[in-house]
Structure formats: C-alpha cells, structure tokens
Amino acid sequence: MRIGFIGLGVMGAPMARHLADAGHEIVTVLNRSPLPTDLKATVVASPAELARMSEIVITMLPDTPDVERVLLGQNGVLEGLSAGKLVIDMSSISPIATAELAAKIREAGAGYLDAPVSGGEVGAKAASLTIMVGGPAAEFERALPIFEKLGRNITLIGEQNGAGQTCKIANQIIVALNIEAVAEALVFAGKAGCDPARVRSALMGGFASSRVLEVHGERMIARSFAPGFRIRLHQKDLNLALESARALGVALPSTAMAQQLMNACSGRPDGAEADHSSLVRALEVLSDHELSKERN
C-alpha cells in the first residue's frame, strides 16, 4: 500500500526502509532530515499532500509540539485526510495530547493509533522494536502487518488512545532508573578499587544482569557516548512522566532524581546530544571518580 512516513531521523529512516523493502510505496515530506540515499520514496511539499496521497500516515517525530504541528498545523495532515484513512503516531509524546489529537483526526473520518516504540536505533535497524499501541482493536488489526515489519513485541495496551503513550512512559521510567542503578554500581565499584569491566562481566552472570547493564554498562566503561538515544529525548520522556504523575497524584521520586541527573549532564557542552548512558558522568562528578577506560 502507499504509506506516508513523516520523520526520517535516526529511527524513522530505517523504519521507512523496512516498509519500502516489504513492497510498500513510501511518500514523505522532508524537514530536518534529508532523504536517505538508500530509501526509494516520493517526496511531496506538505503533510497535507502526503495525507491525500496515502492510505496510512505514520509520524515518527521528537516531541508533542512536532506532532501537533505536522498533524494540525497549516498544510498539516488533517487537511489531507478523508474517511477510511489511518494515522499512526509512533513518536513518544504526551498521553493527554494524544487523546486530543485522536479526537480531531476522528472528526475527519480517519482512524488513529498511538504506537510508540522502544529499542532505539539498534532495534529500528534490526526491525526488532517493541511497539506499544493504543486505539480500537479493529484499527490495530489493520495496522498489524505494518507493525510486524518494524518490530517483534507488539501489544495492544488498550482500546483508548493514549494507552500506548502511557505504556511508553512506564518503559522510559524503568530504563532511566536502570541506567542510574548501573551507573551507581559501576562508579561505586570503581572508586572502591575494582575494575569496572570485570565487575560488569561478573554481574552479567547473576540476578543483576540486564540489557542496560550489558549495553549501557559497556558504554559507560568505554566512554562511548555517541547517541543511540539522546539525553534530551529521555529528559523529554521523563518530563512527560512527571507531568502525568502530577495530574494523577502519583509519586515518582526516583524518576525525579534521574531527571535531575540528566539535567546535570545536559549542562555539559553537547551533553544534551550524548547518549543517555552518559548519565554516569553526573554521578562521577558527585563521587569525584571517573570510570577508567583501562582494563586491569
């Protein structure tokens, strides 16, 4: 089918490529990111034109205002929608804003799914993303063949729009606190005189083992902070968590602490653009100990 894909960034580009490789015709509109040389796609002038040409529209954008602008702004997707089309937002944005966007899209006779993902650039390239979906079951079933080209763990969280975004916020809370825990453990071990690399290797064989310890623990030790998932994007997700928690009357004390550590990292030159594993640098400053690149 003809799929409009908006947002060809670090994750969006490989996702669109998988859909093209599966035989779908991709239509896109260029903004911050150029068209990848290995992606065959039709480039149009506006999201409205893209929506008019496409059966399904997918957005993969950084933040809530970006999605609102693309969907509802001048020459936005909404202007090109008609009955029977389906909008799938795979960005990570506010659950409250998601419900409002869905209502406006449905007024045009189109369907709407919020389907944020987890797995980062690696998962996008490997088509192994976790996809968390909110929206009617019938629309989920319609989109499932597309999701299956992008990910492996695909779950309809609830039939109300915003359920997928709520699940993604929960995911980001868990990931942030795991990164913080791994950073604390490695800085503690390093300052105590142990080789952090050997400590990590030992912990990988026990109950403390995790994907964060495996991947981000190695990044911390190797000082490899080129972005897979940027600090500023995780800050945005934790802001959504804290805003939603205030609205719900839920206490998220550890999430607030992780956010403050990320804030400290963002104060460094290019800190906001570094990988979220660089959260360890805030703890290193507090502990007056930087993990060594050297292995004993």
Q: Is 168 a catalytic residue?
A: yes
Closest CA to 292 of 179, 194, 182: 194
What is the length of the chain? 296
Report residue 109 as tokens: 């006779």
Pairwise CA distance, residues 115 & 6, whole Å? 14
DSSP type of residue 32: S
Taking CA 294 as the corner, what is the angle to CA 232 and CA 290, rounded to the nearest 5 degrees? 45
- Tokens coding 268: 């460094």
b/e string for 231-247 if b means 16 or more Cβ within 10 A? bbbbbbbbebbbebbee
278: which 2 tokens?
A: 């660089």
Pairing outcome for strands 2-6 and 111-114:
unpaired
Set 168, 191, 236, 293: catalytic member: 168
How far apart are alpha carbons 76 and 45 in whole angstroms? 11
Give the 3-state secondary structure of residue 277: helix
For 295, residues 6+ apart whose C-beta sits below 8 A from its C-beta are 195, 197, 198
Catalytic residues: 168
